[in-house]
């Protein structure tokens, strides 16, 4: 059938807008009379502002106002007003609240002027005097202050020990122990955070914000500025990447809305690349493992400790130590999770938060144990394979990880690997082959969607979700078109508008499952109505058919067993006498069924690196990854999701590191020349295999989500390949050449 | 830990602001006049004054390539050029490529069409810069292999990691372009 789109490689429906420059991002909605806000950032990490003087800036013609803690409007200041949907326990940051400095680059003033050039210059004229207080930003130095958090974010699961790890270690024949560190990382989406607030003559605000959830931003400004849903709408039709940075409303939104309301003018605030290092980040983490295995290589004990940084004002928590008790069969597990408060901004979920951190270390430790036991690393993982989730003691809704291992290993040629380190080379380059397992949650959340079919046969489906590059526009269009049997061109999916039916934050790899289920369900409601109308048409060939006996395809409703007998949807609409069919639904996950199963996406990653023996430079030359992610809605965009994740894994393993200069308490490499991300030449051919996986539990579509799985196993696979190449076990990420030498 | 002390951030003295002036730019074959301060970058002139927001700002420091445009056919970072420096040149932005380009039904430049076909983007924010850069690259004629393309496109960061598809798209266009002597 020509209207079967699910599972077919389909070009992005928003592709034309993106390749022609027509797609408008948050900082690109130009309106007459727009003014520009430039943020002044704190030079110190902790202390107080004793004096702030904007008089020189205000003298310039065209400078409208300089907002500071001294002249900001009076606002509600309760913590609850500043809540958001991704908030850790604690007291959220309130921009311009008072003179206290809590982190370096804290926004301390907003200069608003008629042009960007003027605002930027005027910002340089604001004089600030501080009283410094001692700051602590060195996680390693003050890890002694670590404490176990009593509560965490809603998604946080308190680590649960099982069995007796000390005894397990004692019984083990093969043992390893080690410490694994990784640096803080910043999301650095290519589009910098921006908000354009359009001040309508009526006083209504139309806000374009860089966010992973328009409802989140809308509620945030409503609570703070007392704006109803109608007084301020938030829009984000295009987002230039986010990777987690848009999960919480960032301070440019607050500042732009505040300035627009005060000045009764339209205001845009765009952060600089430097300021992109002034809010959330993946927290630096110190991990320690003790692992033991018996003579056959069976895991007997897993001791996993993690210490992560958080801010002074919030307890940001990730599920880190939980993963080591989840991936393989082991009866004795002892997880410990602790936080250290630093004078930095609160960390923030960044692509596969916790999972990428844990697996980057754990899968290296597992490799070490495999070597200690003299067992091939892939074989070792198969020995410890589990058919039941050991953490929750539940069966899996589906788990085709074995197929991932097999197919990826075969494609990679793993059986040709010589196990001894430094045993493979190409001239001056040492060759290393490494592998690792990846795992991520397959979740579904509640969501709403609306479908509107009009008399011209065009369908518009909407939900206040996002497309941060994930392909949401495209896969939702495919789902809607196939469900109603309409050609793709007749279907439009709309998102990123707070007046649309609500959807959760776009994150956690749950959007395809969550919004996809809502879209499908809304379209099924439209189907029902169409079927009713079809049956009551004069001389309807479907008058006696029942709903299960018909199919919606190719723009028609026809009998399942007699495809030639049917009616066109256009005719049904014409005869129905209605000019539109509109259905809005709320879809909830089937919790009763889902909670009986453990639901995960899995992957296997195989990597080849070449290491220059003299220079210590590491190049990833080949990656094969197989993913078991349930049903694949669109192999084209799905592959891109995984490619992106693998590229992030390369960055995490070899390049990305936000360096804190403890003298100033500031991330010192705060630009794209000094903070290295993978560039084109760093990325080799990446072979992505989707193994077949049928899952009837995760959600009605059987999809598991792919946004995060690509990054999870990759860093460890690279680190393991570097060991195989060089014989040097590197436990600190990123693996830069100074560490290799 | 730092010592307790008072610091003063000294701001520079207020300079007499240079006057704005009228600059005429030739963008996508059209002459456009705008009144700007002399230190306005080409990038801000395009985005904020001419509403040509297809050219993106990813760093404002010549470090990401998002702002790549063609000036007299050569790719440059628009954030590193002042608008007044290019008032006598032909500027082509992503919005102008469609006009310049050849015959796909929807008027897309072959590079734009190839980017869609190869899914050479995700969020799309680096995309106009990648496409302009790729068009400039093929004109330069130095890319003879896949690795050459990768090297010569490494000034254009794609944080979404679409690199393998970007290279596929460029190779595709390169292999189909008429041989130039
Ligand atoms: S904005 Fe010009 S290179 Fe980044
Ligand atoms: S497509 Fe998002 S940065 Fe390249």
DSSP A658: B
Q: What are phi and psi of A484, to 5 degrees?
A: -100, 5
Number of independent structural domains in chain B: 2
- Whole-number Å distance, alpha carbon B131 to ligand 2 midpoint, is 12
The token duo for A180 is 């694994």
Compute how many other C-beta atoms are within 10 angstroms of the C-beta atom of residue B47: 23
Q: What would the DSSP string read from start to end of A70-88? A: TTSPP----GGGG--TTPP
d(CA A242, CA A251): 15
Report the distance separating Cα A21 and Cα B130, nearest Å.
12
3-state secondary structure of B87: coil
Identify any residues that bridge with A622 across adjacent strands, giving them in sequence order. A608
Structure pTM?
0.96
Residue B144 is assigned to a structural domain of this protein: yes
**pLDDT bracket for residue B15 (50, 70, 90):** low
- Distance to chain B for A577, nearest Cα, Å: 36
- Residues written for chain B: 181
3.90.1170.50, 3.40.630.10, 3.40.50.720, 1.10.1060.10: CATH of A31-134+189-272: 3.90.1170.50
Alpha-carbon dihedral sign for residues A257, A258, A259, A261? positive
Alpha-carbon distance A66 to A68, whole Å? 6
pLDDT band at residue B2 under the 50/70/90 scheme: very low
Task: Answer yes or no: is pLDDT of B100 > 60.
Answer: no
For residue A408, which phi and psi values (nearest 5 degrees)? -70, -40
* Inside any domain, residue B102: no
Give the Cα separation of A567 and A273 in Å (integer): 57
Nearest CA among B83, B112, B93, B108 for reference residue B52 = B93
* Chain A residues closer than 8 Å to B147 by CB: 681
Give CA–CA dist B113/B132, Å, rounded.
13
Q: Using one digit for the tens of pLDDT, what is the confidence trace for A12-62?
A: 999 999 999 999 999 999 999 999 999 999 999 999 999 999 999 999 999
Q: Is residue B1 a part of any domain in this protein? A: no
Q: Which residue of A16, A18, A643 to mutate against B (max B Cβ within 10 Å)? A: A18
What does the block give as tokens for A148? Answer: 């176990």
> Which residue carries 């680190």 as its tokens?
A719
Q: Tell me the shortest Cα–Cα distance from A469 to chain B, in angstroms.
A: 4
- What CATH number should be reported for the domain holding residue B83? 3.10.20.30
* Subunit contact B122:A241, Cβ cutoff 8 A: yes
Q: Are residues B71 and B114 in the same domain?
A: no
Rounded to 5 degrees, φ, ψ at A208 are: -105, 120
**One domain, residues B39 and B86:** yes
Fold of the A15-21+444-588 domain: Aldehyde Oxidoreductase; domain 4 (3.30.365)
Whether residue B11 is predicted with pLDDT greater than 60 in this model: the reply is no
Which residues have C-beta within 8 Å of that of residue A128, sequence separation ≥ 6? A40, A42, A43, A49, A51, A52, A53, A108, A109, B9
Q: Do A714 and A688 meet the contact criterion of CB atoms below 8 Å apart?
A: no
Parts of chain A with a pLDDT under 50: none
- What tokens appear for A34 in the block? 């727009």
Same domain, residue pair B89 and B114: no
Residues paired with residue A450 on neighbouring β-strands, in sequence order:
A462, A584
In a domain? residue B9: no
Touching B: A residues 469-488, CB under 8 Å: 469-471
| Ranges of each domain in chain A | 15-21+444-588, 31-134+189-272, 143-185+281-443+595-740
The residues, ordered by sequence, that sit 6+ positions from A77 with a Cβ below 8 Å of its Cβ are: A94, A97
Q: What does the alpha-carbon distance between residue A341 and residue A121 come to, in Å, rounded to a whole number? A: 36
* Pairing relationship of beta strands A388-389 and A394-395 according to DSSP bridges: antiparallel
Do A15-21+444-588 and A31-134+189-272 have matching folds? Answer: no
pLDDT at A207: 98
pLDDT band at B18 (very low <50, low <70, confident <90, very high): confident
Residue B77 lies in a domain: yes
- Using DSSP's 3-state secondary structure scheme, residue A116 falls into helix
Is residue B181 assigned to a domain? no
The span from the CA of A676 to the CA of A502, in Å, is 37
Sign of CA dihedral A481, A486, A487, A493: negative
How many angstroms does the Cα of residue A420 sit away from the middle of ligand 2?
39
Environment class of residue A16 by beta-carbon count within 10 Å: exposed (0-12), middle (13-18) or buried (19+)? middle
User: Residue A451 forms beta bridges with which residues?
Assistant: A461, A583
pLDDT at B9: 47
pLDDT of residue A2: 82
- CATH at B139: 1.10.150.120
Residue B129 Cα to ligand 1 midpoint, Å, equals: 9
Say yes or no to pLDDT of B13 above 80.
Answer: no
d(CA A14, CA B44): 25
- What are the tens digits of pLDDT across the range B88-97? 999 999 999 9
Q: How does pLDDT run across B139-175, given as a tens digit for each residue?
A: 999 999 999 999 999 999 999 999 999 999 999 999 9
For residue B28, being part of any structural domain is answered with yes
Q: Which of B123, B131, B152 would you mutate first to test chain A, the one with the most A CBs within 10 A? A: B123
Counting Cβ atoms within 10 Å, is residue A539 exposed (0-12), middle (13-18) or buried (19+)? exposed
- What's the pLDDT band for B17 if we cut at 50, 70, 90? confident
| Spatial CA neighbour of A111 closest among A66, A45, A64, A47 | A66
A584 catalytic residue (yes or no): no
Inform me whether the pLDDT recorded for B3 exceeds 70.
no
Q: Where are the alpha helices (DSSP H) in chain B?
A: 42-44, 94-100, 110-117, 127-140, 146-152, 163-176
pLDDT exceeds 60 at position B102? no
Atom from ligand 1 closest to the CA of residue A672? 4
Catalytic residue among A482, A655, A656, A708: A708
Q: For residues B118 and B110, what is the distance between their CA atoms, to the nearest angstrom?
A: 12
Q: Which domain holds residue B27?
A: 21-93
C-alpha A197/C-alpha A233 separation (Å) is: 10
pLDDT tens, residue by residue, A163-181: 999 999 999 999 999 999 9
- Report DSSP state, residue A282: B
Q: Does A673 touch chain B (CB under 8 A)?
A: yes
Q: What angle do CA A230, A231, A236 make, to 5 degrees?
A: 80
Looking at the fold, whether B60 and B119 belong to one and the same domain comes out as: no
Contact: B54, A126; criterion CB under 8 Å: no
Tell me, what's the pLDDT at B179? 55
CATH number of A143-185+281-443+595-740: 3.30.365.10
* Digit-coded pLDDT (tens) for A239-289: 999 999 999 999 999 999 999 999 999 999 999 999 999 999 999 999 999
Strand segments, DSSP code E, in A391-538 are 394-395, 425-426, 429-441, 447-454, 459-462, 491-494
Complete DSSP assignment for A33-44: T-EEEEEEE-SS
Percent of chain B with pLDDT over 70: 85
Q: Is A33 on the interface with B (CB under 8 A)?
A: no
């Amino acid at each position: 059938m020509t209207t079967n789109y699910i599972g077919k490689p389909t070009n992005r429906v928003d592709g034309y807008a993106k390749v022609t420059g027509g797609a408008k991002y948050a900082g690109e909605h130009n309106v007459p009379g727009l003014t520009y806000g430039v943020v002044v950032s704190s030079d110190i990490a902790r202390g107080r502002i004793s004096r702030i003087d904007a008089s020189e800036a205000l003298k310039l013609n065209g400078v409208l106002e300089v907002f500071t803690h001294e002249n900001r409007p009076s606002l509600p200041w309760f913590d609850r007003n500043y809540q958001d949907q991704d908030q850790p326990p604690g007291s959220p940051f309130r921009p311009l609240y008072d003179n206290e400095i809590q982190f370096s680059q804290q926004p301390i003033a907003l200069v608003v002027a008629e042009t960007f050039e003027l605002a930027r210059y005027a910002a340089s004229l604001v004089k600030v005097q501080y009283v410094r207080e001692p700051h602590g930003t060195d996680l390693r130095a003050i890890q002694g202050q670590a404490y176990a958090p009593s509560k965490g974010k809603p998604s946080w699961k308190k680590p649960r020990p099982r069995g007796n790890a000390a005894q397990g270690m004692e019984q083990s024949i093969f043992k390893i122990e080690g410490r694994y560190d990784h640096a803080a990382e910043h999301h650095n989406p290519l589009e910098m955070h921006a908000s354009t607030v359009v001040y309508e003559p009526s006083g209504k605000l139309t806000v374009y914000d860089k966010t992973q959830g328009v409802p989140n931003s809308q509620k945030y400004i409503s609570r703070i500025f007392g704006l109803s849903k109608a007084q301020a709408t938030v829009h984000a039709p295009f987002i230039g990447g986010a990777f987690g940075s848009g999960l919480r409303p960032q301070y440019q939104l607050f500042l732009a809305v505040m300035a627009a309301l005060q000045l009764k003018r339209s205001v845009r605030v765009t952060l600089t690349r430097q300021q992109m290092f002034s809010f959330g980040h993946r927290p630096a983490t110190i991990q320690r493992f003790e692992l033991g295995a018996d003579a056959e290589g069976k895991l007997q004990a897993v001791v996993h400790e993690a210490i992560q940084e958080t801010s002074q004002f919030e307890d940001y928590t990730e599920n880190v130590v939980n993963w080591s008790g989840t991936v393989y069969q082991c009866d004795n597990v002892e997880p410990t999770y602790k936080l250290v408060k630093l004078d930095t901004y609160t960390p923030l979920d960044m692509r596969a938060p916790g999972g990428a951190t844990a697996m980057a270390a754990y899968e290296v430790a597992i490799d070490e144990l495999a070597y200690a036991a003299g067992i091939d690393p892939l074989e070792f993982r198969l020995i410890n394979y589990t058919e039941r989730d050991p953490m929750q003691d539940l069966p899996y809704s589906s788990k085709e990880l074995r197929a991932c291992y097999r197919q990826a290993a075969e494609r990679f040629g793993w059986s040709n690997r010589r196990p001894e380190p430094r045993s493979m080379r190409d001239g001056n380059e040492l060759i290393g082959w490494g592998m690792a397992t990846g795992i991520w949650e397959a979740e579904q959340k509640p969501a709403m969607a609306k479908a509107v079919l009009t008399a011209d046969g065009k369908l518009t489906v909407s939900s206040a979700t996002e497309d941060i590059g994930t392909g949401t526009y495209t896969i939702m269009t495919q789902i809607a078109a196939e469900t109603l049997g309409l050609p793709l061109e007749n279907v439009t999916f709309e998102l990123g508008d707070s007046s649309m039916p609500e959807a959760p934050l776009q994150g956690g790899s749950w959007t395809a499952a969550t919004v996809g289920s809502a879209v499908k369900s809304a379209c099924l409601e439209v189907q029902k109505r169409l079927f009713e109308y079809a049956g009551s048409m004069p001389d309807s060939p479907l008058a006696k058919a029942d709903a299960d006996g018909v199919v919606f395809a190719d723009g028609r409703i026809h009998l399942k067993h007699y495809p030639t007998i049917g009616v066109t949807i256009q005719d049904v609409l014409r005869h129905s006498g209605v000019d539109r069919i509109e259905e809005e639904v709320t879809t909830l996950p089937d919790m009763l069924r889902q909670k009986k199963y453990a639901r995960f996406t899995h992957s296997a990653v195989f990597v080849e690196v070449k290491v220059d023996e003299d220079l210590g430079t590491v190049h990833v030359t080949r990656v094969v990854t197989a993913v078991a992610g349930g049903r694949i809605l669109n192999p084209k965009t799905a592959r891109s999701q995984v490619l992106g994740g693998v590229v992030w894994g390369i960055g995490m393993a070899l390049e990305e590191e936000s360096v804190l200069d403890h003298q100033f308490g500031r991330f010192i490499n705060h630009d794209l020349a000094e903070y290295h991300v993978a560039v084109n030449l760093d990325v080799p051919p990446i072979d992505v295999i989707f193994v077949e996986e049928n899952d009837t539990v995760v959600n009605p579509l059987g999809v598991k989500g792919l946004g995060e799985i690509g990054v999870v196993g990759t860093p460890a696979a690279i680190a393991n390949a570097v060991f195989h190449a060089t014989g040097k076990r590197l436990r600190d990420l990123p693996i830069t050449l100074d560490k290799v030498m | 830990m730092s010592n307790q002390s008072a610091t003063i951030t000294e701001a520079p003295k207020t300079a007499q602001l240079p006057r704005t002036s009228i600059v005429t730019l030739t963008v996508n074959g059209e002459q456009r006049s705008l009144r700007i301060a002399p230190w306005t970058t080409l990038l801000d002139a395009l985005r904020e004054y001419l509403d040509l927001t297809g050219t993106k700002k990813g760093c404002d420091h010549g470090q990401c390539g998002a702002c790549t445009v063609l000036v007299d056919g050569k790719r440059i970072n628009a954030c590193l050029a002042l608008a007044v420096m290019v008032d006598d040149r032909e500027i082509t932005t992503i919005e102008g490529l469609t006009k310049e380009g050849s015959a796909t039904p929807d008027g897309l430049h072959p590079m734009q069409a190839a980017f869609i076909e190869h899914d050479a983007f995700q969020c799309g924010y680096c995309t106009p810069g990648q496409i302009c850069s790729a068009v400039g690259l093929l004109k330069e004629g130095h890319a003879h292999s896949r690795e050459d393309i990768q090297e010569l496109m490494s000034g254009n960061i794609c944080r979404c990691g679409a690199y393998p598809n970007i290279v596929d798209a460029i190779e595709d266009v390169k292999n189909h372009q008429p041989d130039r002597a």
